[in-house]
Structure 1
Amino acid sequence: MSKIEQLEMDAHRAQLASDLSALIEKYRSIFDWDVPEVDEALSDRLILKALRQALDAFEADLPAGKPG
């Protein structure tokens, strides 16, 4: 049987995806404003890489012994 935390995450998964999409769009807009003739594919890769690095750093700071 799933833990209550998993059930709660499942209930909010769509909202999390929507929030992440909005965050990516926010940074796409910033690139569009700040970089003339922006390479959209490159900016998307850079945004995704930065998000992964931030998530990795956040995960590394979690208390030890508590797997996700």
Structure 2
Amino acid sequence: MASMEQIEMDKHRKSLDRDVSHLVDKYLKAMEWDIPDVDEPAARQMILDEIKREVGRIESQH
């Protein structure tokens, strides 16, 4: 049986996915302003790697 927290997270998963996707797009657009010929796949991966590092930092604080 799923916990109440898991049930609540299931309700918010799509919204969380959208938020993270928008966050990546936000920083990719900022890079494109500064670097017109940006390597989009490489830039996207760099952004995702930084998000993962930040999640790790947040996890280590709690």
How far apart in 2 are the matches of 1:36 and 1:15? 30
Percent pairwise identity: 37
Task: Tell me the CA shift for residue 36 of structure 1.
Answer: 3.0
Q: TM-score under structure 2 normalisation?
A: 0.93
How do 1:1-68 residues align onto structure 2 when only pairs under 5 Å count?
1-62=1-62
Structure (1 or 2) with the larger CA radius of gyration: 1
How far apart in 2 are the matches of 1:22 and 1:36? 20
Runs of 4+ aligned structure 1 residues displaced above 3 Å come to none
For structure 1, list consecutive stretches of 5 or more residues without a partner in the other structure.
Answer: 63-68
For structure 2, list consecutive stretches of 5 or more residues without a partner in the other structure.
Answer: none
CA root-mean-square deviation: 0.8
- Select the structure that is richer in helix: 2
> Which of 1 and 2 has higher RCO (CA within 8 Å, sep 6+)?
2
